[in-house]
Structure 1
Amino acid sequence: MRLLANVDDVLEEVVPPVVARYRDAGTLSWALIHQIESDVLEEALKSGRLSAQAANMVRSHEAFGYPRDDRPASFEGLGVLPIVFGAIQNAWNRVH
């Protein structure tokens, strides 16, 4: 659990400024949430505060089948919400 507790701390620091870069986008689409996720994980990995193993545990995976189009992202009815997506959605709601 220590690994995931550390991930939460890293995401709390990294996600809000990344999301703020996209505040003019208006709607959090599936394509945009995937872009933000990529930016967040890249920054967290570059900082050295997040290991590749931890990033792999909290990211979205192709197997989950999340869309990558311009429809608004909605997690309603989805069984699994990647940790990074949850952090992005929370930050997005605070910015918008």
Structure 2
Amino acid sequence: MLRSVGQKLVAGSEEDPRVTELRTAVSRLRRELAAHPAEFPDRAVAEDELAALDAMAAGGLPEVPRLRRSLLVVAGAIGSVSALAKGLGDVRNAVELFGGPPPR
């Protein structure tokens, strides 16, 4: 069975393509954050929340409200670090695959 993940096809994958996309984006941002030389006040917060996102994704289909909360925490923690903007945008896009924000 072939499943679409972004523009890639994954043969024999049983994992939800949205989960795969989220895991990939979170992993990439975690690596970028680890390699970023500058220290900033909320770095540990971002690292902890990315680890939580990774655990949620590894557990299967994550809860959308929890994903959104984690995204906000990560964005608040690293939002001003321009070198991490693309990676943060990729995580945001992956979270959006699970559905838009709830109606107000």
Q: TM-score, normalised by structure 2?
A: 0.36
| Larger proportion of strand | 2
Larger Rg: 2
Indicate the structure whose relative CO is greater, using CA pairs within 8 Å and at least 6 residues apart: 1
Q: TM-score, normalised by structure 1?
A: 0.38
| Larger proportion of helix | 1
